[in-house]
Structure 1
Amino acid sequence: MDELYPPIAPRAEGFLDVGDGHRIRCQEAGNPAGKPVVVLHGGPGSGIAPMARRHFDPEGYRIVLFDQRGSGRSTPDAGDLTANTLWHLVSDMEALRERLGIERWQLFGGSWGATLALAYAQTHPSRVSEIILRGVFTVRQSELDWIYRGGAANLFPREWEAFLAPIPAALRDNPLAAYASLLDDPSEEVRHRAAVAWSVWEGATVSVQPQESFVRQYAEPAFALTFARLAVHYFSHGAWLDEGRLIRDAGKLAGIPGVIVQGRYDAVCPPITAYELHRAWPGSELKLLEGAGHAVTDPGVLAALRAATDSFRTQT
């Protein structure tokens, strides 16, 4: 963890009413006069992680974090799907930026957080100073098929078998649709079993060196239910994106400096997506890390992210 800055507590915390009955939990840390950056958590559904504040020099950055709709301590309760789409989240970010009086901010996100960063930046490019992405995910059908329809199963066959276990045999040709049904089942036992199986699949595949600590974290029932409900909700709808949109429209990011940090052996979000985004995004830099998978703690990832935040720290 030497690549991280020391732990830092939030300087301010509160809730922002974003409409539709939703209030998002927000935090600020670091220097109130520093360079603004907003951290976009993954999942969808994972929520604010204290470690996320440590990617940034607290003397140089004004660090903004928030729990997305249905996540963390945002209200209504975690896992709420009402008025909860990618475009609601983009609007929430813009409302938060305006509430904080920030003219432009840096975007920092990994996995689903990278999806949200790209959607926001392509909608509001004039409000973005730089973008730092990790483990790029753009919700194309090929990406969903890889992780949820048998691609990654070639690398993790035992774990894939456990992922399929809650699904009736006749429905296993479309696990995403099957999980949507299971997570809406009247039986609490069925819902919880499905949520844990869904979540543990990601925990088992997230690191290039599988770690029991990840599996335990993802298997925790409260986390798993939120994580699974939101992920299946978003992915069943293709995140309300036209197929391939985030890469097709990457030209809108021209003039916005960006760093893409990607593990070569990422089994959740394979590097072809990061490579294609890099090719479509003028002026972006791709850092393809040998020996790394999807996890932020995989070899070289934290160092690459810190190098990126440090390099942008004094840019206006």
Structure 2
Amino acid sequence: MNDFYPEITPFQEFLLDVGDDHQIYVEQCGNPQGQAVLFIHGGPGGGCSQNDRRFFDPQKYHIILFDQRGCGRSKPHGSLNKNETQYLVSDIEKIRTKLEIENWHVFGGSWGSTLSLVYAQTHPDKVSSLVLRGIYLARPEDTNWTFSGGGATRLFPDYWQAYLDALPQSQTDPSIKASYAVMIGEDKEAAMKVAKAWAQWEIHCCTLIPDEAFVADKTDDESCWSLARHEAHYMVNDCFLIENQILDNCDKIAHIPTVIVHGRYDVVCPFDNAWQLHKKLPLSELKASENAGHASVEPATKHHLIAATQKMLTL
């Protein structure tokens, strides 16, 4: 069973001014002469962690990580201004240009898979390969499954009730739009309460086996604030994509070697997302983590992801 590579520290960290009053955090790790790989984190609003560096052999990879607009170590924290999918795609290109990288492998999970796919479809000549985990296709049915009383709420009604109990008593509508209004409203105490409940609901659903340490690590106040508000911001705007944009544009990336890793029991992003993407990419390889949910750190998923990054080196 593949496990994480040893812990490493960046050989460079910097803030990149991308305009619109945003500075995004960028770090470089591993071998600067190695094959370039970009890690794209989830959320939106999640930010990178130290373990995200450890999916890649540091002797063979030039590993680039960044925190998307308004989250993680990027500034200003929590900003939703000019925070849309196409701005993030533009930011990725600015990183590539800044680092003078001709093309790179791209690795993304959950929302990171969404952004990886949109980036690759926009700049297919810059992507050497794709490793995608926990596919989120950003369609209304994908959002509704988790956050609008869809199937996830039937599997975890207790966790969902905890979220509903955190909504203001005046909020009889549990919709994403209504919760978003609270989270961007003037009552900061109510906004934080809803943001924490939103994040705890989602993170509780991420692992097949309940993992309170994992939940605690992902739901401190700062993480909840950016994760919940960013996700709601994107979801009420259909992730700033046109209808079925990702699947309808798969022909643009059909030539890119792609490995799709997805937990069989993923409640946040159901397995059929991965299946539908796989059918649109005839050269893709789909690896089902048969005893895992949504999280990248679950052993089976971690195993398949590291196997995929090892395979990327031979392309």
Give TM-score scaled by structure 1 length: 0.96
Listed as ranges, the matches of 1:298-309 within 5 Å are 298-309=298-309
Distance in 2 between the 1:2 and 1:53 partners? 15
Listed as ranges, the matches of 1:101-140 within 5 Å are 101-140=100-139
Distance in 2 between the 1:90 and 1:138 partners? 16
CA contact (8 A) 1:203 1:217 kept: no
Distance in 2 between the 1:195 and 1:266 partners? 22
- SS of the residue aligned with 1:70? coil
Distance 1:173 1:186, change over 3 A: closer
Identity of aligned residues (%): 44
Match of 2:28 in 1: 28
Distance in 2 between the 1:220 and 1:56 partners? 27
Residues 136-189 of structure 1 deviation map (CA, whole Å, 9 limit, x = unaligned): 001101101100112201110110111112335785555201111110232221
- Which consecutive unaligned segments of at least 5 residues does structure 2 have? none
Distance in 2 between the 1:11 and 1:92 partners? 21
CA contact (8 A) 2:38 2:107 kept: yes
Match of 1:88 in 2: 87
Aligned letter for 1:245? Q
Distance in 1 between the 2:260 and 2:78 partners? 29
Distance in 1 between the 2:217 and 2:97 partners? 35
Are 1:67 and 2:71 matched, yes or no? no
Give TM-score scaled by structure 2 length: 0.96
Using the TM superposition, give the Cα deviation of residue 2 of structure 1 relative to its aligned residue in structure 2, in angstroms: 5.6
Aligned letter for 1:49? S
Residues 100-156 of structure 1 deviation map (CA, whole Å, 9 limit, x = unaligned): 111110110100100110000000000000000000001101101100112201110
CA contact (8 A) 1:43 1:111 kept: yes
Match of 1:237 in 2: 237
Distance in 2 between the 1:174 and 1:158 partners? 15
Listed as ranges, the matches of 1:1-316 within 5 Å are 3-76=3-76, 78-150=77-149, 151-167=151-167, 174-315=174-315
Aligned letter for 1:91? S
CA contact (8 A) 1:164 1:172 kept: no
Using the TM superposition, give the Cα deviation of residue 231 of structure 1 relative to its aligned residue in structure 2, in angstroms: 0.8
- SS of the residue aligned with 1:272? helix
CA contact (8 A) 1:167 1:178 kept: no
Distance in 1 between the 2:173 and 2:144 partners? 11
Using the TM superposition, give the Cα deviation of residue 41 of structure 1 relative to its aligned residue in structure 2, in angstroms: 0.7
May I ask how many residue pairs the two structures share in their alignment? Answer: 314
